[in-house]
Chain A
């Protein structure tokens, strides 16, 4: 009994200490934000403490004393403190980079924790850069961590990035990738770019040693609906981990000048392929490139959200496919339909609830009596759909998905192709259901 009491007491104490540490770190970062002089040592000597700490790296001929001094005297900006930025910043700090800047505007969410390993349960709801700086300064007092709790955009990017020796692109969206690339070209900073979605990762160094910039490879941004992000398509935790670690290694190679000997390349990583890595030889800088070419047409930062047709928000857009508001019902309205059906005598054909998410998402959670036909299979399973709908004797069909976007396509399909007018979209989907009707329904 005594022992259990003590265990509970200690657990509670740890939990509050963890919260308190984050609060202290936030205040400290704010107070130190405008101190310009670095807290890390500079010059051409390592202290005895540093020699002891980095001894295992000093023993490698490729690094040695000169390389370790270069790491210590360099500054690296990591843009994004998420799945890529977490492992990358962690290793940069642990290997002895002198100054480490972090940029992120987001706060930690529990759905980040499986891959964004700098953050903890205690830091949910806390700013990502504060959470990251807490972990990094706990690891090393020799690293001068600078936190920029802002959304990087055309108005602040150059000011934040100027003066750093290397920039790491650990962001999650096209608009910020073009912004970071263009600013790096304009400031003459090499860019270590990584990305990861689902089970695949990619790594490239841009704007370095005569190699291409991001725009040389991708002069035109992809259509907004063609890009996949982690919150929509998912990502295996370790995949950005692998790429983020490699980004840290590329930084070391640039700082120690080893990278000069290499040709530009794109490294592809996949969980599925054997071997997991493949290298693709890339073109050199394109003389016709709009930003790094011989006569650039982009000479200042532009509006990247307009350029890409989508912004840096990780949130999915809200579609408005159904123009007629009568074709959509709110979750609260559907909840009433559901209750009315429950109360009606058994056997009555109340309505059909059609869940149009893919099978993987349907397996995570579903509403009672939902029939799952993924939107991608509508055309192939048209006959089956037709029979379902005809068996309803005019009773309504309600279509639901995760956010109320593709369910609108389903309503259009049933109304136009199956000519069944009693079909409605559940606006906002299951996300709204959890928010408006049932707080106990799982959110994902």
Chain B
């Protein structure tokens, strides 16, 4: 099986969760962050799903308090996951089976006004 090439985006403040050196590599201090990462098509013998991606992001990209981002099936409150332009709940949420060339975005909810 082929690997999955994924585009990962972080915006509206969600980019601040990402390690400084990764942000610096992508040329941004604040503001939309876009990365490409490759994941295996299967994880533990099963097709790779959104949940596996969350674990990958937690272990490889998150700056501090990694367990706050995703732990015990719980994603950090206030973060929306968008898969190919749709709220992931429109798809199968954490169970969504990732496809090659998918774009997965993480957006922080804003409270100010």
A280 at interface, CB cutoff 8 A: yes
Within 8 A of A (CB), among B72-113: 76-78, 80, 82, 85-87, 89-90, 107, 109-113
Q: What is the bound-complex CA distance between A167 and B90, given in angstroms?
A: 26
Establish whether residues B32 and A222, one from each chain, have CB atoms under 8 Å apart when the complex forms: no
Chain A residue, CB-CB nearest to B91 = A283
Establish whether residues A222 and B82, one from each chain, have CB atoms under 8 Å apart when the complex forms: no
Q: Which of B11, B80, B87, B110 contacts A195 (CB 8 A)?
A: B110
Establish whether residues A173 and B111, one from each chain, have CB atoms under 8 Å apart when the complex forms: yes
Which of A32-40, A227-235, A297-305 forms contacts with chain B? A227-235
Chain B residue, CB-CB nearest to A202 = B110
Establish whether residues A268 and B11, one from each chain, have CB atoms under 8 Å apart when the complex forms: yes
Establish whether residues A83 and B90, one from each chain, have CB atoms under 8 Å apart when the complex forms: no
Establish whether residues A280 and B85, one from each chain, have CB atoms under 8 Å apart when the complex forms: yes
Which residues in B have their C-beta under 8 angstroms from that of A279? Answer: 85
Q: What is the bound-complex CA distance between A84 and B111, given in angstroms?
A: 11
Establish whether residues B87 and A283, one from each chain, have CB atoms under 8 Å apart when the complex forms: yes
Q: What is the bound-complex CA distance between A194 and B111, given in angstroms?
A: 9
Q: Which of A170, A173, A243, A266 contacts B87 (CB 8 A)?
A: A266
Chain B residue, CB-CB nearest to A243 = B113
Establish whether residues A197 and B86, one from each chain, have CB atoms under 8 Å apart when the complex forms: no
Q: What is the bound-complex CA distance between A198 and B112, given in angstroms?
A: 9
Which residues in A have their C-beta under 8 angstroms from that of B82? Answer: 280
Contact with B along A60-91 (1 / 0, CB 8 A): 00000000000000000000101111000000
Which of A145-153, A213-221, A317-325 forms contacts with chain B? A213-221
Residue from B77, B111, B112 with most neighbouring chain A CB atoms (10 Å): B112
Known A217-B80, A268-B11, A270-B32; judge A280-B86 contact (CB<8 A).
yes
Give B30 Cβ to nearest chain A Cβ, in Å.
8
Which residues in A have their C-beta under 8 angstroms from that of B112? Answer: 83, 172, 195-197, 228-230, 233, 235, 240
Known A268-B12, A280-B87, A281-B85; judge A228-B111 contact (CB<8 A).
yes
Establish whether residues A200 and B77, one from each chain, have CB atoms under 8 Å apart when the complex forms: no
Known A84-B113, A268-B107; judge A228-B13 contact (CB<8 A).
yes
Which residues in A have their C-beta under 8 angstroms from that of B78? Answer: 218, 221-222, 226-227
Q: What is the bound-complex CA distance between A283 and B86, given in angstroms?
A: 8
Within 8 A of B (CB), among A168-192: 170-174, 177
B31 at interface, CB cutoff 8 A: yes
Interface SS of B by simple majority: loop
Known A218-B109, A228-B112; judge A200-B13 contact (CB<8 A).
yes
Which residues in A have their C-beta under 8 angstroms from that of B111? Answer: 172-174, 177, 195, 197, 227-229
Q: What is the bound-complex CA distance between A196 and B113, given in angstroms?
A: 5
Give A379 Cβ to nearest chain B Cβ, in Å.
10
Establish whether residues B11 and A270, one from each chain, have CB atoms under 8 Å apart when the complex forms: yes
Give B11 Cβ to nearest chain A Cβ, in Å.
7
Q: What is the bound-complex CA distance between A233 and B30, given in angstroms?
A: 12
Q: Which of B12, B31, B113 contacts A194 (CB 8 A)?
A: B113
A339 at interface, CB cutoff 8 A: no
Chain B residue, CB-CB nearest to A227 = B111
Which residues in A have their C-beta under 8 angstroms from that of B30? Answer: 198
Give B1 Cβ to nearest chain A Cβ, in Å.
29
Residue from B78, B82, B85, B113 with most neighbouring chain A CB atoms (10 Å): B113
Chain B residue, CB-CB nearest to A195 = B110
Establish whether residues A283 and B89, one from each chain, have CB atoms under 8 Å apart when the complex forms: yes
Establish whether residues B110 and A228, one from each chain, have CB atoms under 8 Å apart when the complex forms: yes
Q: What is the bound-complex CA distance between A380 and B80, given in angstroms?
A: 31
A31 at interface, CB cutoff 8 A: no
Chain A residue, CB-CB nearest to B84 = A281
Establish whether residues A272 and B12, one from each chain, have CB atoms under 8 Å apart when the complex forms: no
A201 at interface, CB cutoff 8 A: yes
Establish whether residues B113 and A286, one from each chain, have CB atoms under 8 Å apart when the complex forms: no
A282 at interface, CB cutoff 8 A: yes
Q: What is the bound-complex CA distance between A230 and B76, given in angstroms?
A: 22
Q: What is the bound-complex CA distance between A213 and B87, given in angstroms?
A: 14
Task: Give B residues with C-beta under 8 Å from A.
Answer: 11-13, 20, 30-32, 68, 76-78, 80, 82, 85-87, 89-90, 107, 109-113
Task: Give A residues with C-beta under 8 Å from B.
Answer: 80, 82-85, 170-174, 177, 194-202, 217-223, 226-230, 233, 235, 240, 243, 266, 268, 270, 272-273, 279-283, 286, 376, 380
A-B residue pairs, 5 tightest by C-beta: A222-B78, A283-B89, A197-B112, A195-B110, A220-B77
14 additional A-B residue pairs with CB within 8 Å, beyond A218-B78, A268-B107, A282-B90: A82-B113, A172-B112, A174-B111, A201-B110, A202-B109, A218-B77, A220-B77, A221-B78, A222-B109, A223-B68, A230-B112, A235-B112, A268-B11, A283-B89
